[in-house]
Amino acid sequence: MFTKLAAPILLLAALIGPAVAAEPLPAAIAASGESVVLSVHAEGAQVYECKAGTDGKLAWAFREPIATLFAEGKTIGRHYAGPNWEHADGSAVAGKAIGNAPGTTAADIPWLKLDVTAHRGSGVLTPVTTVQRINTHGGKLDGACDKAGEFKSAPYSADYVFLKKG
């Protein structure tokens, strides 16, 4: 009986193994020496505004993100302009981008590394020093805009990893 079960189990392990192995992050957004505080999935939109560029031509300019943060299928917070991330426990962080890497496809917003520049409240996000945005899908907006002041949003999803030094 053992030998009949062993082969399928070993085959399954071989198939699953490489799929779950984490690939190293691009150097520009890696955070070596930091440990994970929280990982969440975000679903939302990147909001753009039609504005005149330095050349005077109208183009879509990024304005802000609006997203819901999920962990284990439950809503646990939100992400919005700043950029800010707010947890349901009242803790929040704001960040500033310090590194980026291209998304997987041309339609995906870049992966980011952000330094935390401010903390609010007390809770799970209190010790966070770095935020990574990875596994982005969508969010880029292309095409012409006709009227200054118009807004348009592009749906996106991403994973946010909250880290602390040490």
In the prediction, which pLDDT does 18 show?
Answer: 37
Which residues, in sequence order, are bridge partners of residue 164? Answer: 35
Question: Over 80: is that where the pLDDT of 5 sits?
Answer: no
In the prediction, which pLDDT does 22 show?
Answer: 54
Question: Over 80: is that where the pLDDT of 15 sits?
Answer: no
* DSSP conformation class of 32: T
Of residues 138 and 24, the one with the higher pLDDT is 138
Rounded to whole angstroms, how far apart are CA atoms 61 and 74?
32
Note the pTM of the prediction, 2 decimals: 0.84
Tokens for 88? 């349901």
Question: Over 90: is that where the pLDDT of 13 sits?
Answer: no
DSSP string, 60-113: EEEEEEEEEEEETTEEEEEEETTTEEEETTS-EEEEEEEEEE--SSTTBPPEEE
Question: Over 80: is that where the pLDDT of 38 sits?
Answer: yes
